[in-house]
Amino acid sequence: MAPAASTGSVKLDAVKQQVLAKDPSAPQGAALYARFAFAGALCCSITHGGLTPVDVVKTRIQLDPATYNRGLIGGFKQIIAKEGAGAVWTGFGPTAAGYFLQGAFKFGGYEFFKQKSIDLLGYETAQKNRTAVYLASAGCAEFFADIALCPLEATRIRLVSEPTFANGLIGGFSKILKTEGVGAFYSGFGPILFKQVPYTMSKFVVYEKVSELIYRSVDKSKASDGLQTVINLGSGLMAGFAAALVSQPADTMLSKINKTKGLPGEGTTSRLIKIAKELGLRGSYAGVGARLFMVGTLTAGQFAIYGDIKKAIGATGGVEIAA
């Protein structure tokens, strides 16, 4: 095999050569990032799809807190009693499909932008400023992920808020496109960025920091696969709690703006300002209990599944900058 091109950093070149020496057949370049993207797509689709019932209750609490005022468990009972058990799975299709796309861009993009930051700054500088690298990489990745997610998230919220709107993903997507146009899918793009970018930045930086703290006491090279999965779960749980709290106000606004069409001539910015005034600080945290449970659980699951899938498909060639 031909030697890899120099990165301009002696230390980074040495790290890459060690990876290649351990497994000369390990994927590199586009093949590696495609594996990161696939692992990210699966972990997000599985976790978000599986937690659709919690998301349905959380969305109902946000959109109609006067009716759904009995908390997470009480919300489940209300929906099932009124609409049947199948109602809590409303929006499963757009949730699974949307987060498959979003997960590919989010995790694959995070690894890509992190590597590009290391190449740009140099390994030593990137390691010294790794928190900034984590934040910038996560923010850039999430921007592109949200372009893919937004139309499907708009469809999901419409199906959950109006159960009789359409029958499933294709019907709901087609109806919005036909009656309201492409712009309707992106009416929530501002709040989804406002929600998802801080969410993802918090998620990745807290995960990286908690993992780094744990691995100061545990030798990662000697840790069993099972122990590494447990560490991923624990780090992901802490990351999920932090991300949920940071992004909750924008999540509530996103649910509100996608519930109904705006008034004629009313722009997205003016709608957001009006919704923010109506909600207030307390209203913007409606459903936070359900969302803490949901986001903590799914983020823990995501990082555990992501780590295990990466190992299974040989996506282990990324360069780490943790101390």
pLDDT of 21 reads 45
Q: How many residues can be counted in the chain?
A: 323
Instruction: State yes or no: pLDDT of 6 exceeds 50.
Output: yes
Question: Does residue 8 fall inside a structural domain?
Answer: no
What CA dihedral angle connects 130, 321, 295 and 44, to 10 degrees? 130
**DSSP labels, 137-150:** HHHHHHHHHHHHHH
**For the chain, how many structural domains are there in total?**
1
CB-facing half-sphere around the CA of 93: CA atoms within 13 A: 12
Task: Please give the C-alpha separations between residue 2 and each of 29, 177, 307, 309, in angstroms, as whole numbers.
Answer: 14, 51, 29, 28
More confident residue, 143 or 20: 143
Cα dihedral angle (19, 134, 153, 74), rounded to 10 degrees? 110
**Residue that wins the pLDDT comparison between 25 and 161:** 161
16 lies in some domain: no
Question: Does residue 101 belong to any structural domain of this protein?
Answer: yes
* Mean pLDDT over each residue of the chain, to the nearest integer: 86
Classify residue 208: in a domain, yes or no.
yes
Domain with 32, as residue range(s), is 28-313
Greatest mean pLDDT among 3-17, 108-122, 304-318 lies in 108-122
Looking from the CA of 234 toward its CB, the CA atoms found within 13 Å total 13
CATH number of the domain within which 71 lies: 1.50.40.10
Give the tens place of pLDDT for each residue, 34-61: 999 999 999 999 999 998 998 899 888 8
Does residue 23 belong to any structural domain of this protein?
A: no
Helix axes 189-215 and 225-259, enclosed angle (nearest 10): 160
> Does residue 254 fall inside a structural domain?
yes
Cβ-Cβ contacts under 8 Å for 167 (sequence gap 6 or more): none
Q: Per mean pLDDT, which of 32-41, 94-103, 151-160, 183-192 is the most reliable?
A: 32-41
DSSP symbols for 69-80: -SHHHHHHHHHH
Q: Which of 144-158, 260-274, 283-297 has the highest mean pLDDT?
A: 144-158
pLDDT at residue number 2:
39
Residue 49 CB partners (closer than 8 Å, separation 6+) = 92, 95, 96, 99
CB burial of residue 88 (10 Å; 0-12, 13-18, 19+): buried
**What is the pLDDT at residue 14?**
53
- Please name the residue that has the structure tokens 């943790």: 322
Could you tell me if residue 14 is inside a domain? no
Residue 42 CA to residue 99 CA, distance in Å, equals 9
What global pTM score does this model have?
Answer: 0.78
The average pLDDT across 100-109 equals: 95
Residue 298 lies in a domain: yes
Give the least confident one: 9-23, 117-131, 274-288: 9-23
Using alpha carbons, select from 252, 135, 126 the residue that is nearest to residue 197: 135
